[in-house]
Structure 1
């Protein structure tokens, strides 16, 4: 299928509108309502929501469920506006930790380094990362792609100051890349898959060797302490959803494509193929990569002080569920 700019822009807008509609609270049930946030990239939470899994399982425990869509996740994470938060890519927890957010990490998705990349148009004279010197490169400031771009340049003996960064949020970056307003773009899925479906592009580097592109799931400290059985139920459901997406790729595409604004099936399939969706408990040793991100962002002036990125609260699943 040939993608036009109008199609993609419309799909993104429709996906947001659909998400807002789906974000309304479900029927009230006896007991407390558990509030979940999610975002466009929250594949596994979207699967659970669409299938009513948590409403059914938590309902048996006497809890209702409400869903809240956010395009910017830092505010609800920092303020505790919901109980369990949208999964976020590796860079986001650096900012929540810097802000002193009262968050416990209860799950993570395993490595998906091919889900973010530095790309140029296929016809570009830029052939290598070294060729980015002096070029205009689009990137979302403070994102995981900001980190991999800095790391990729460092690997080539370049500094971030050797390029001309254009700080653009993903939808604006897509438009700029299409019209030639930027010469290269550091971007993640689904935008990476969208642009690859629209035109030939060359991948200068993905995150392999630079970042694992783990995703983290967090819950408010107080909720984790008061309702560990709810956290355990959600953890198990996420792990099952990840296994289902990988075992049933066609069914997953059919479920997700309409929710994501009727994106072409091949785009959704590519996103799902590149993500691991392997949910497991958070191992503190695995957070060493978070330290590298925090140090890079401190050097860039994006956070005010040095962090020990491994010094976060971790929830561990009951024996046999991790």
Structure 2
């Protein structure tokens, strides 16, 4: 019963998985009021851009309209960008690598940097494991091609291990939770808000986090066709500025945002607040600068070496820096709430 209840809690979170793979579909979410003739198609995820912009008041005073489309994860959102079904959308640090590696027509135009404390490898309550080095020969659940996948690889490397030193179980979050709760895997590599939920719901313990091993970046990715359209390009620039201000609002109003986020996603309020304070509320808009590009290139090369990306490529070829002005470097420290959650 407990496992079924936990799995049910994870169902609404499937719509938040910005980095996970798997098939999904988009659903039109209508248009945001605006007075102009330009209509900007924005790919979103449940509790994502539309919610944060509306809660912060940043959807007021638009001189263009936004047509929202909702996706369950980053990869299908980028498929829609490639197909020009949407003009722009936000994803984690790994989906652009897989899209670019497959030759998709996408362009990274904006970035955010935040804490990687929510990128974690967790072990069950009572587990004898106390160090990533002890994962040798152990089974680890992870969503293939996700940011957690890369975090697992990087964390193992730091511990002197390779990916072949563990028994990988490629599972999406709901299936991974069932396996984790029943003791069928020894550890689970996951990201927030799943991290915050499993810690509260099962008494799991963090073995290690992504801090210091992954880049903590997220990206706004646009269609090249939209960027060639003067009206849409101007709207994209305005949207990026509004997102910058909205993220600053979240940091100043974590409890208010957690309440909105919980209502939007079905998360328990305490889990939403944990996730805001651990990772989601720490984000700041940054430039897509050479440091960010180099960091993504390392991810791309890692997955190419593992044969998970079909070709080697230059990530810089998929970046447009026109919106970098007045943004801090990508290495800017994430905002911190001054306390740790567990």
Normalized against structure 2, the TM-score is what? 0.83
Task: Specify the alignment match of 1:237 in structure 2.
Answer: 242
Is contact 1:31-1:64 (8 Å) kept? yes
Is contact 1:91-1:143 (8 Å) kept? yes
Q: Matched residues in 2 for 1:137 and 1:250: separation? A: 33
Is 1:293 aligned to residue 299 of structure 2? yes
Task: Specify the alignment match of 2:277 in structure 1.
Answer: 273
Report the CA distance between 1:114 and its aligned residue: 0.6
Q: Matched residues in 2 for 1:270 and 1:176: separation? A: 24
Report the CA distance between 1:215 and its aligned residue: 0.6
SS at match of 1:26: strand
Q: 2:290 aligns with which of 277, 281, 284?
A: 284
Equivalent residue runs for 1:296-311 within 5 Å: 296-311=302-317
Q: Matched residues in 2 for 1:203 and 1:16: separation? A: 21
Is 1:110 aligned to residue 113 of structure 2? yes
Task: Specify the alignment match of 2:268 in structure 1.
Answer: 264
Q: Matched residues in 2 for 1:228 and 1:301: separation? A: 35
Normalized against structure 1, the TM-score is what? 0.87
Q: Matched residues in 1 for 2:176 and 2:291: separation? A: 34
Report the CA distance between 1:204 and its aligned residue: 1.6
Task: Specify the alignment match of 1:312 in structure 2.
Answer: 318
Go from structure 1 to structure 2 and tell me whether the alpha carbon gap of 1:72 and 1:210 turns closer, same or farther (over 3 Å shift): same
Cα deviation per residue 1:219-249 (whole Å; 9 max; x = unaligned)?
A: 1112123122101210111011100000011
Equivalent residue runs for 1:1-322 within 5 Å: 5-13=3-11, 24-26=29-31, 31-40=37-46, 42=48, 44-49=49-54, 53-54=58-59, 56-58=60-62, 61=63, 63-74=64-75, 75-85=79-89, 87-226=90-229, 227-261=232-266, 263-275=267-279, 276-317=282-323, 320=326
Is contact 1:80-1:102 (8 Å) kept? no
Report the CA distance between 1:258 and its aligned residue: 0.6
RMSD: 2.7
Is contact 1:107-1:217 (8 Å) kept? yes
After superposing the two structures, state which structure 1 stretch, 153-162 or 113-122, moved more.
153-162
Q: Matched residues in 2 for 1:80 and 1:115: separation? A: 32
Go from structure 1 to structure 2 and tell me whether the alpha carbon gap of 1:92 and 1:258 turns closer, same or farther (over 3 Å shift): same
Task: List gaps (5 residues or longer) in structure 2.
Answer: 17-24, 329-342
Q: Matched residues in 1 for 2:318 and 2:217: separation? A: 16
Report the CA distance between 1:178 and its aligned residue: 1.5
Is contact 1:148-1:211 (8 Å) kept? yes
